[in-house]
Amino acid sequence: MSEENQTKSLSQAELAKQFLEKKKQGNLDGKGGSFGAAGGGGKLQSQNNKKPNNQRRRTGGS
Protein backbone atom coordinates (compact mmCIF):
# COMPACT_ATOMS: atom_id res chain seq x y z
CA MET A 1 0.00 0.00 0.00
CA SER A 2 2.87 2.39 0.62
CA GLU A 3 3.91 2.06 -3.01
CA GLU A 4 0.42 3.03 -4.16
CA ASN A 5 0.45 6.11 -1.92
CA GLN A 6 3.92 7.02 -3.13
CA THR A 7 3.00 6.76 -6.81
CA LYS A 8 -0.19 8.70 -6.16
CA SER A 9 1.71 11.49 -4.42
CA LEU A 10 4.31 11.52 -7.18
CA SER A 11 1.62 11.82 -9.80
CA GLN A 12 0.05 14.70 -7.86
CA ALA A 13 3.44 16.39 -7.68
CA GLU A 14 3.91 15.93 -11.41
CA LEU A 15 0.43 17.33 -12.06
CA ALA A 16 1.24 20.35 -9.91
CA LYS A 17 4.50 20.93 -11.79
CA GLN A 18 2.74 20.66 -15.14
CA PHE A 19 0.01 23.03 -14.00
CA LEU A 20 2.57 25.63 -12.90
CA GLU A 21 4.47 25.31 -16.17
CA LYS A 22 1.27 25.83 -18.15
CA LYS A 23 0.42 28.83 -16.01
CA LYS A 24 3.86 30.36 -16.59
CA GLN A 25 3.65 29.73 -20.32
CA GLY A 26 0.19 31.29 -20.44
CA ASN A 27 1.48 34.41 -18.69
CA LEU A 28 4.43 34.68 -21.06
CA ASP A 29 2.44 34.02 -24.24
CA GLY A 30 -0.51 36.24 -23.37
CA LYS A 31 0.05 39.86 -22.57
CA GLY A 32 3.36 41.67 -22.31
CA GLY A 33 2.38 44.42 -19.90
CA SER A 34 -0.82 44.18 -17.91
CA PHE A 35 -0.77 47.84 -16.83
CA GLY A 36 -2.81 50.49 -18.57
CA ALA A 37 -5.40 50.17 -21.31
CA ALA A 38 -3.11 48.23 -23.65
CA GLY A 39 -2.55 45.43 -21.14
CA GLY A 40 -6.00 43.92 -21.25
CA GLY A 41 -8.03 42.60 -18.36
CA GLY A 42 -5.42 41.30 -15.97
CA LYS A 43 -5.80 40.68 -12.27
CA LEU A 44 -6.43 43.94 -10.46
CA GLN A 45 -4.28 44.93 -7.51
CA SER A 46 -5.49 46.97 -4.58
CA GLN A 47 -4.37 50.57 -4.38
CA ASN A 48 -4.53 50.97 -0.62
CA ASN A 49 -2.07 53.51 0.73
CA LYS A 50 0.10 52.96 3.77
CA LYS A 51 -1.57 54.09 6.98
CA PRO A 52 0.09 57.03 8.73
CA ASN A 53 1.95 56.43 11.96
CA ASN A 54 -0.04 58.10 14.77
CA GLN A 55 2.21 57.04 17.62
CA ARG A 56 3.07 60.66 18.38
CA ARG A 57 -0.62 61.59 18.61
CA ARG A 58 -1.49 58.53 20.69
CA THR A 59 1.31 59.02 23.22
CA GLY A 60 1.13 62.81 23.31
CA GLY A 61 4.80 63.12 22.50
CA SER A 62 6.55 66.27 21.33
Res 37: pLDDT: 52
Res 47: pLDDT: 84
Res 21: pLDDT: 92
CB 31 within 8 A of CB 40: yes
CB 25 within 8 A of CB 18: no
Res 9: pLDDT: 67
Q: Where are the domains of the chain?
A: 1-29
Tens of pLDDT, residue by residue over 8-22, are 667 888 888 999 999
The pLDDT of residue 3 is above 70: no
Tens of pLDDT, residue by residue over 18-59, are 999 998 888 766 555 545 555 556 788 888 888 888 888 888
